[in-house]
Amino acid sequence: MRHNTRIVIALCIFCLLFLSIIVYLTHFTLFRAEDVKKSSFNKRLWADENATLRGKIYDVNGVLLAESTREDNGYQTRRYYYGSLYAHVIGYNSTIYGKSQIESTFNDLLLGKDILQSTFNINSVAEKGHDLTLTLDNSVQQAAAKAMGTKHGAVVALDPKTGDVIACYSYPTFDPNDEVLTNTWTTLVNDEDSPILSRATNGLYAPGSTFKTITAAAVLKEDLERMTFNDTGSVVIDGRRFKNYQNKAMGNLDLTKSYALSSNVAFCQWGLQVGADALRQMAYNFGFEKNLESDINITTSRFPQKDMSKTDLASAAIGQWQVLSTPIEMAMVAASVVNRGQMVTPTFVKRATNAAGNIVYDAKKKSTMTATDYTKSLTIEKMMTETVKTGTATACAIDGAIVGGKTGTAENEKQGKEHAWFIGFAMDENRDSDKSIAVAVIVEYSGGTGGTLAIPVARSVMKTYLGK
């Protein structure tokens, strides 16, 4: 009896072991099958894409920026003719690392799939993809890159009326051509300088004194512009001392003079007069805390939503504390001033055309929002032009053009390494031409001022665009 019991127990153990092995092998087989399925899907996806010759990409004047050519082995090679110049706008198209920027968001059009096909899920494969025409001007883009040199930061230039992006450049940058990208990828992703980051659209920085443009709009909205302040170089608010750059005393100041000379003393006190709610609302009006839907991803600029002490509010009024902005957001601020208070969402792609030259995508419809009203925008425009005439931005003056702007020197987490800012606009002096441009420039961790480091970049971009 005891012998039979042992046999039964042994059989049970054997059966359990056998079942365990079966379950394990079944799971392993299914797992591997799923891997093969995914791998097959990816290969099939790329094979489908390879069947269509990817569309070309041009600048606004028809300069060829990117195209695909088919090699002898049947596979395509994507060529970016200006290398790193457009890496943060056009992006890359890699079988290993995927797609980014316009190559990603406009992938369907570049593969010849138009809205009709997408709507009705038509899976036909085109021989040739649609070509894209960007809003960017290659000559202005090159001027931006040349003026930036090896300075870390970003340049954004917009058409104030249409929202078309004329230039968008970040440095450091990288070469998106596939062979170079493959050889440098590990270095790029581990680089502390973040060359893959589009500083223009995704970098968040304290805007410093350029934010005084928004504070000034709030002052006008609250009818406080008749107030004046005696600037002695510093002011104490709740036990904290706020100082002007180099502790400079500026005397009795009205709003225009405070803005032109960039008085921290005056604007800290105006922030207190305006109040947290009104300043926050004006920041919202100018695009902060809003998801700006565009052709490529734009990081949301931030204004503190929690309760603010007096010192917090004073700091926020001069673009410090927890106020953070992208360069493209600050370019939009300048653009909205010259566009009579209307802020237009930035556009990078103007149109797409098929092989026959017919337009299959047209970016005519733009999203707009009211930043400030017509009259107040005129007042701020005059303040910005006065800043170029007599204030901190005199170095940005251009013969034959009306130029307005605001400099900024923003403190950050690195002591003595302030960001240098400039935002502004330029147009022909007779105003007969519709040609106008709004610009934002940041030179990060420079330790210098916007007047000495950012203005030369902005001025070069403005002059190139206006042909001055």
Please give the Cα distance from 450 to 413 (Å, whole number): 18
pLDDT for 2 equals 46
Q: Point out the residues of the chain with pLDDT beneath 50.
A: 1-2, 8, 16, 18-41, 119-121
Burial class (CB in 10 A: 0-12, 13-18, 19+), 80: buried
Predicted TM-score (pTM) of this structure: 0.88
Contact assessment for residue 287 and residue 301, using Cβ atoms and an 8 Å cutoff: yes
Tokens of 402: 């009306």
- For position 10, what pLDDT does the model report? 52
Q: What is the pLDDT of residue 13?
A: 52
pLDDT score recorded for residue 127: 87
pLDDT value at residue 49: 85
Cα dist. 213→260, 336, 369, 404, 456 in Å? Answer: 11, 11, 17, 12, 20
Classify 133 as helix, strand or coil. Answer: strand
Residue 115 is predicted with a pLDDT of 57
Please state whether the peptide bond connecting residue 176 to the residue before it is cis, i.e. omega within 30 degrees of 0. no
Q: Residue 126, exposed/middle/buried by CB under 10 A (0-12, 13-18, 19+)? A: middle
Q: Give pLDDT, residue 380.
A: 98
Domains of the chain, CATH where assigned: 202-348+367-466 (3.40.710.10)
Residues 6+ apart with CB under 8 A from 19: none
Confidence (pLDDT) at 4: 53
Please report the pLDDT score of residue 300 as a whole number.
98
